[in-house]
Structure 1
Amino acid sequence: MGKNNFNKNVATAPYNFVPLNSTVISDNDSSVVTGIHDSYDYFERLTGYIECKLETLTPIYIRGGLTEEEVKAKKEAKDNSNFFSPAGQIRIPGSSLRGMIRTLVEIASWGKFGFFEDRNLYFRGFADNCKNLREEYDSQMKPFDKESKRSIYKMSAGYMVKEGFKYFIYPAEKTGDKDKQFYNIKIEKASEEIKEIGKKRENYNYYKLKDGRSIVVSGPMSNRKDPELSKKHDWIINKIDRNIQNKIEIPEIDIQNYNRDESRGNKVPDLLKQCYDDKEVPCFYVEWLDGENNNRVSFGNTALFRISYQKSIGDHIPINGLKNKEKIDFANAIFGNTFEGEKDPDIDPIAGRVFFEDAKLVNPNNNCLMKEESPGILLGPKPTSFQLYLEQDSNLVDELKHYNSGTRIRGNKFYWHKSGEKWEYKHHNLGNSNEKIKTKIRPVKPNTEFKFRIRYENLSESELGALLFALKLPEGCAHKIGMGKPYGLGSVKIIPELYTSDRNGRYLSLFNRDGWVLAEFKQKDRMLNQTVSAFEEHILEGMSDSDKGEASSLWETHRLKQLKKLLEVEKGKELERDHKSEYTDLKKFRYRDVLPIPEDI
């Protein structure tokens, strides 16, 4: 999203986004492209390590694994409050440090948008405050017929069946003059028919009648803007059409998307699971074609069910580079892309050339752990909130863009820094007394010192500069790591020191009076800054004019100005004091207020 001046109707959140880059800058190191990086070019490449001091500015928490006994006792991860402590030694795992730094390298080097879950999200917008979303839902589910001046239901009805490892939908028979598969039935009449088969009508349930038809009961509905949708009826689905030529195979991608729909209500039945207990589960569905002209199916338990957006999350990432398989950016060149290589056989795997050790306590004998407490409820991200996760050109609710619109995702998500003083559940109890989702944690105290080492091999000067750029943040900025970021946990300050290896000298002599000749030398800050400058120059030269603007350094570009704001410790604390980094109140949330860019908050 470009600059905006939204001065009203704005959302608040403990996070914000670094906007996407318009192009990707390649790592032009030929040793990566040709594969020579697997061998050492002793005279031009850089090898050594970075010694890092890490100080916790707020409490931090990274959960430890379950013991063998706890696994056998079928305990869940939330039952373990211990900090990550292999062999009883408190540490910050190298994998966590690696992931944190890789993301920053990806952003600073104008890389491809990193690991994300490309899937279709679901929505139901017949009563939403956003006009665009209501119209989008209506266009797929009940288009308006001008002649009859009524909405004509577009969805179909049938029965879901599991056959082996696949799922199919057998359409319901069509009856009557209008070849209907389903129709309304008043609640009173539905209750009588359900009573005749010896059962009681309950919300979110379905009932097989003796004649082969099914009654489907929705959940309670209220506060409807559309009188036609008021809760005055249940649904009758005709009996199954067993003609195998008419059955519809549900694509695996739609099975996966359905399983990953976290926004589906807890009381709404899971049709896939019901297929294990019932051979024929009544359902409603719509068929559609995706952007590659593949047959797709959305399905639900009632007529006005949640449908899939026809565009996936990945469709909102520009294809000009951000998803280009052929380009090798700095993040992949330095950290490797073996994960992508395993996922996509068309991508040649690249081995990483940086190795992160665990961060160990400087004073392991000190008691650095806080007492066990329950943090505020840690909820998962809600990308379905398009007013927050998609770029918006307007803050007017009827003009908002959703996931079927032509817009981009907001970019990389970061949490604001906070004081870390009010992370406990007692400060964030919003009336949710569900004890099942509460957990216990024992964070590490603020002002605790760790140290860790990053070893690097065969890097070019600009590649090493990218790594150092992500470690050595501007004055007043800090990194975030671990759990509980929305409530102020995880702020850490890192101070790097650069060591390089003279590999030519290392192999001229094996021993001296002190033992092995390692030929590793600590470099002065001037050398560190020079290496960072080489990286910055490479990126500034490669970026588009629109991304560069008038910037003479990376931190002056529009993108990294947003990143810098998110990393500023005092800025985050200021927003915390002004209640501008809290989750939007649920009563206000339904109005879909827009989240401004970081520098406009």
Structure 2
Amino acid sequence: MSNYIKAPYNFVPVEENVFYPAWSQYLSHDAPFSDGKSGYIEVDIEAKQPIFIADGRLGQRAEGQKLSFFSHEGKYMVPGSSFKGMLRAVVEVMSYGKLGIFNQHQFAFRDLNNKPLYMNRIRQDNRPIQAGWLQKQEDGRYLLTPCGEPGRISFGDIDRAFGTNMVDYFVKGGKKNSLYDRNKDEHKAARFKYKTFSQIGAAETTYTFVPTKKGYTLAGYNDPRGMKGVLVFTGQPGLRQENRGRRSTGKGKEFIFFETGRAEIEVGPEVIESFKQAYFDYDENRQTVDWKYWSKELKKGERIPVFYNTDGVKEVAHLGLSYLYKLPYDYGVADLDPSKTVENFDRLDMAECIFGWVPNAAAGDKSGYQELKGRVQVGHLKAVGSPSLGDSVTAVLSSPKASYYPNYIAQHLDLANHLAGRYYNTYNNKDAHISGRKRYPLRTNKILENKGTDNVSTGFHPLKASSQFKGRIYFHNLREVELGAILSALTFHDSADQYWHQIGMGKPLGLGAIQVNAKLFLDGQEAADAALDAMGSFEACMLQHDANWLNSASIVELLSMAKANLYMDDDLGYMVMDQQGRQNHFKEAKNKNEGLNRYSILSGEEEGLLPLSRGEAPAEFGAEKDKLSQKIQEQQKQLKDRREQLYALLAIKKEQAAREKDRADRRREEAEAQEKERQKRAAEIAAKQAEIAAKQAALKKADEERKARKREQAAKKGLDPVKEKTQLGQVRTVVSQFIKASGEKTLAEEYWEELKENLAIAYSNSPKGKQREWKKKLAKELSNWLGDSATAENWAKEILG
């Protein structure tokens, strides 16, 4: 095999020549076919490798808790739904069925190494990438405010302008490198920067910037070159490496969205849908940290920063959250499904006839058929005896990345797995085809190790190889050829001893291989010959449709992957892309123009089915055709009437829900308005209180300043001389001069205690002959000095004793 391309999976190509049974329009549970058969198939399963089927509580387990095998009342079982899904998948392949149900989301890509595919497209005709603000309107439209080409500003200039420390965080060798972990999605996201450096108001506050030699920086006061704009952060995939004398690597700048004054642009709904799908808006488990935040803001009607470009026709042809954002492919899975290129795609294929059918709007079904109930029911298969648990397995069971076109799109490859042409087929090629139905080639008993961190790993205990199960498949009114299709799928056309099915979790790791033995029972009796006749009828029918059916590409690939090949184990591992970027097999494979070849070529297992050489293709209907047709038309009319009733009821419920939503929206808006009004009133009260407090503080300060002046005046022309006087007349002179100097009519209160103390000393030092005058005139003098006769009387009593 090649150096880098390998995978634990491969593909069965989808046949363009789909087989549509002629009797599909006459299917009924009430009007039996003349050759319709009813009965059951007894199924015995033996696990050839450890097997594990989860108990259905996949999303309910506690962190670190291992998954349990499906069981009921303490007995292990293979769920009927799991076995039915496995069986139907093989029937679809062997009967040339349509692709069926698949992921119809439009993929997006960012392939910086493929210039013709990505770089030439995102900058078509050398158009520079633009910046803008996207906002959802109340009427559901999306408007974009253009900001022109975004400006760039380095981490260092941001730090100098705003006092942040981005260099310490994101430039290798910085003091805070340890606080940034590129292995954590939340650290690589722009939200990490917004939270860490929130003090600068990024994406909210408008600043003025001026150009420099290498970008922009914050403008100085009244700089005539200034341009108003908002600083916008995007993610940080790794540390910046500054290299002196040679080119530095890694992201070292952020973006500026300028105010341009240009008119808003309406973004088309198809562009918005592609934008949302590129960020997995339909799958919360695959969404980035930034998308989870910005999408909520967008739904609330807030503006979010985006980058976009035009294709020369649409003003906004595509957009994203980063400068080099993901571009939507031109075509989806359904567009490149080869089975859709033929006429009558809206007819039912064999698997749909047998197992039932409902319209799949995502896959583009436009059939006039009503829903069809299946004529096959699969019960749980119960364990035989008491199977033992094997060794514990801990592995990463990740979702497929169908956007990786070297594998998921059919390529023209040589035997060395390299492109035979110059360019890859991608989802942008209208004439390209998807690789087919994904399946996992059987491995030997060696279980592939695929461990990851605790938060992405799944732990479980599979049952040991040799575990056995037994159950039944019940069928009703199947034509012989349909019964043959089921038996052929179960036994790989009577070759169950050579080929194995796979079921349950862990198929990429080498788990789940089972050998299936089936016995047909009609009227309660085993019918081995009838089983061979039915498979022969199916074989004849398919050979009539395609003479090369036994050795067709889909049959060969199905069988090649259903046969364990000891020599392929090492080539069925996972490609490596470690978080530090030291290994990236996905990138290297593209650089080497490698692709995933068909498994039959890789393994050398290019075998077809062996013919049974018995049975005939089903005959067309005779006289019963009209009767069946009339019966079916009556049933379809009843179903149509019922569907119209259901649609009417659904419309009523939808209208009720819309009214309830409107009421809820109004209540929410009223509550928000009340809360805003409450906050406004609280802010006004707080402002008023602050104003009052400020006035009080000012008055207090003025009073303290006045008192300070008085104290200073007292220090210069104080009342101290009073205590040295022995005669009241002398005291009167000192006090009167002091009052006059203060510019007041009476003595200020702050000097009262000082006067009182000095008067007491002066009186005590006065000769007894002079004290008569004190006793006679002190109260009167005090009243004149203080301007308060009551206080004067009290003081006189205290001083004179």
TM bin (shorter chain): 0.7 to 0.9
The residue number in structure 2 matching 1:184 is 152
Contact residue 119 and residue 314 of structure 1 kept, 8 A: no
Higher relative contact order (CA 8 A, sep 6+): 1
Asked if 1:401 corresponds to 2:404, the answer is no
Query: Cα distance 1:599–1:302, how it changes in 2: closer, same or farther (>3 A)?
Result: same
Which one has the bigger helix percentage? 2
Whole-Å Cα distance in 2 between the matches of residues 23 and 272 of structure 1?
43
Whole-Å Cα distance in 1 between the matches of residues 139 and 72 of structure 2?
40
Whole-Å Cα distance in 2 between the matches of residues 456 and 297 of structure 1?
52
SS in 2 for 1:453: strand
- Cα deviation code 1:122-159 (max 9, x no counterpart): 11122x2xxxx321212321246xxxxxx542x33212
The residue number in structure 1 matching 2:78 is 92
Asked if 1:535 corresponds to 2:531, the answer is no
Shift of 1:189: 2.8
The residue number in structure 1 matching 2:329 is 309
SS in 1 for 2:428: coil
Residue type of the alignment partner of 1:440: G
- Out of 158, 168, 189, which is 2:142 matched to? 168
Whole-Å Cα distance in 2 between the matches of residues 237 and 323 of structure 1?
51
Any residues of structure 2 matched to 1:6-405 within 5 Å, and which? Answer: 8=2, 11-29=5-23, 32-35=24-27, 37-41=28-32, 43-66=34-57, 75=61, 79-126=65-112, 128=113, 133-143=114-124, 151-153=126-128, 155-163=129-137, 166=140, 168-173=142-147, 180-195=148-163, 204-205=189-190, 207-208=202-203, 209-211=205-207, 213-220=230-237, 231=251, 233-239=253-259, 246=266, 251-252=272-273, 254-259=275-280, 269-270=291-292, 271-275=294-298, 279-286=302-309, 298-318=318-338, 320=340, 324-338=344-358, 340=360, 346-348=367-369, 349-363=371-385, 366-370=386-390, 373-394=392-413, 395-396=418-419, 398-405=422-429
**Structure 1 runs of 4+ off > 6 angstroms?**
196-203, 227-230, 261-265, 293-296
Query: Cα distance 1:558–1:210, how it changes in 2: closer, same or farther (>3 A)?
Result: closer
Whole-Å Cα distance in 1 between the matches of residues 562 and 13 of structure 2?
15
Query: Cα distance 1:231–1:41, how it changes in 2: closer, same or farther (>3 A)?
Result: closer
Contact residue 10 and residue 596 of structure 1 kept, 8 A: no
- Cα deviation code 1:537-569 (max 9, x no counterpart): 1112113xxxx5xx4xx4422321111110012
Whole-Å Cα distance in 1 between the matches of residues 265 and 4 of structure 2?
52
- Out of 437, 449, 469, which is 2:488 matched to? 469
SS in 2 for 1:48: strand
Stretch of structure 1 that moved more, 309-318 or 266-275: 266-275
Contact residue 333 and residue 352 of structure 1 kept, 8 A: yes
Whole-Å Cα distance in 2 between the matches of residues 210 and 255 of structure 1?
28
Larger Rg: 2
The residue number in structure 2 matching 1:568 is 563
Contact residue 111 and residue 322 of structure 1 kept, 8 A: no
Query: Cα distance 1:326–1:152, how it changes in 2: closer, same or farther (>3 A)?
Result: closer
The residue number in structure 2 matching 1:447 is 466
SS in 1 for 2:308: strand
- Out of 418, 428, 453, which is 2:443 matched to? 418
Query: Cα distance 1:322–1:115, how it changes in 2: closer, same or farther (>3 A)?
Result: farther
Shift of 1:575: 1.0
Query: Cα distance 1:163–1:272, how it changes in 2: closer, same or farther (>3 A)?
Result: same
SS in 2 for 1:399: coil
Query: Cα distance 1:184–1:294, how it changes in 2: closer, same or farther (>3 A)?
Result: closer
Shift of 1:443: 1.2
SS in 1 for 2:460: coil
Shift of 1:40: 3.8
Shift of 1:594: 1.1
Query: Cα distance 1:229–1:327, how it changes in 2: closer, same or farther (>3 A)?
Result: farther
The residue number in structure 1 matching 2:695 is none
Whole-Å Cα distance in 1 between the matches of residues 309 and 527 of structure 2?
64
Whole-Å Cα distance in 2 between the matches of residues 281 and 341 of structure 1?
32
Asked if 1:597 corresponds to 2:622, the answer is no
Shift of 1:498: 0.5
Which runs of 5 or more structure 1 residues have no equivalent in the other structure? 1-6, 145-150, 174-179, 502-519
CA RMSD of aligned residues (A): 3.7
Number of residue pairs matched? 525
Query: Cα distance 1:156–1:87, how it changes in 2: closer, same or farther (>3 A)?
Result: farther
SS in 2 for 1:255: helix
Asked if 1:480 corresponds to 2:502, the answer is yes
SS in 2 for 1:103: helix
Query: Cα distance 1:163–1:84, how it changes in 2: closer, same or farther (>3 A)?
Result: farther
Shift of 1:161: 2.9
Any residues of structure 2 matched to 1:489-568 within 5 Å, and which? Answer: 489-501=511-523, 520-524=524-528, 526-543=529-546, 548=547, 551=548, 554-568=549-563
Contact residue 65 and residue 84 of structure 1 kept, 8 A: yes
- Cα deviation code 1:45-79 (max 9, x no counterpart): 11111000011111111111349xx95xxx45973
Which runs of 5 or more structure 2 residues have no equivalent in the other structure? 171-187, 195-201, 208-228, 242-246, 578-582, 603-801
Query: Cα distance 1:56–1:260, how it changes in 2: closer, same or farther (>3 A)?
Result: farther
The residue number in structure 1 matching 2:477 is 458
Stretch of structure 1 that moved more, 107-116 or 273-282: 273-282
Residue type of the alignment partner of 2:555: L
Query: Cα distance 1:465–1:319, how it changes in 2: closer, same or farther (>3 A)?
Result: closer
Contact residue 108 and residue 328 of structure 2 kept, 8 A: yes
- Cα deviation code 1:330-360 (max 9, x no counterpart): 0110011126389857452221110010111
Shift of 1:421: 3.8
SS in 1 for 2:574: coil
- Cα deviation code 1:496-552 (max 9, x no counterpart): 000123xxxxxxxxxxxxxxxxxx22102x321221111111112113xxxx5xx4x
Query: Cα distance 1:240–1:458, how it changes in 2: closer, same or farther (>3 A)?
Result: farther
Whole-Å Cα distance in 2 between the matches of residues 191 and 491 of structure 1?
59
Shift of 1:229: 9.5
The residue number in structure 2 matching 1:510 is none
- Cα deviation code 1:459-501 (max 9, x no counterpart): 1111111111100122321000000011111000100000123
- Cα deviation code 1:410-457 (max 9, x no counterpart): 10111111234435xxx434xx4x211122212112111101111111
Whole-Å Cα distance in 2 between the matches of residues 278 and 326 of structure 1?
41
Query: Cα distance 1:285–1:491, how it changes in 2: closer, same or farther (>3 A)?
Result: same
Query: Cα distance 1:296–1:160, how it changes in 2: closer, same or farther (>3 A)?
Result: closer
Whole-Å Cα distance in 1 between the matches of residues 108 and 444 of structure 2?
36
SS in 2 for 1:112: coil
Query: Cα distance 1:476–1:339, how it changes in 2: closer, same or farther (>3 A)?
Result: same
Contact residue 370 and residue 444 of structure 1 kept, 8 A: yes
Query: Cα distance 1:95–1:418, how it changes in 2: closer, same or farther (>3 A)?
Result: same
Stretch of structure 1 that moved more, 337-346 or 411-420: 337-346
Whole-Å Cα distance in 2 between the matches of residues 200 and 242 of structure 1?
37
Normalized against structure 2, the TM-score is what?
0.59
Contact residue 171 and residue 247 of structure 1 kept, 8 A: no
Query: Cα distance 1:164–1:458, how it changes in 2: closer, same or farther (>3 A)?
Result: farther
